[in-house]
């Protein structure tokens, strides 16, 4: 939550879209979004194909890069993905 709070202090989205994973339905997460004035948008339960292109993009990033490299800083991560 500390990381999200820090990110929101710099730049806050109007809407946060997610699936219904446990980390996105966590009461503390929902409370933070509500207190920050961010609208919550969740895909329907079991609707994995709703966002298939984005899901595939992040899957590729994870398996082709993040899981095989050990980035120590956000700067290294950005440099590695670019």
pTM: 0.56
Identify the pLDDT of residue 58: 86
Domain map (residue ranges) of the chain: 1-46, 49-82
Q: Any bridge partners for residue 18, and if so which?
A: 42
Report DSSP state, residue 2: H
CA atoms of 31 and 17, how far apart (whole Å)? 15
Identify the pLDDT of residue 18: 85
Identify the pLDDT of residue 46: 61
Identify the pLDDT of residue 35: 94
* CB contact at 8 A, 30 and 40: yes
The stretches in the chain having pLDDT less than 50 are none
């Amino acid at each position: 939550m500390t990381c999200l709070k820090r990110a929101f202090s710099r730049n806050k989205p109007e809407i946060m879209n997610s699936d219904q994973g446990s980390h996105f339905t966590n009461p503390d997460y929902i409370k933070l979004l509500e207190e920050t004035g961010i609208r919550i948008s969740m895909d329907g339960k079991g609707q994995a194909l709703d966002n298939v292109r984005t899901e595939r993009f992040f899957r590729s990033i994870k398996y082709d890069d993040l899981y095989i490299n050990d980035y120590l800083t956000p700067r290294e991560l950005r440099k590695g993905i670019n």
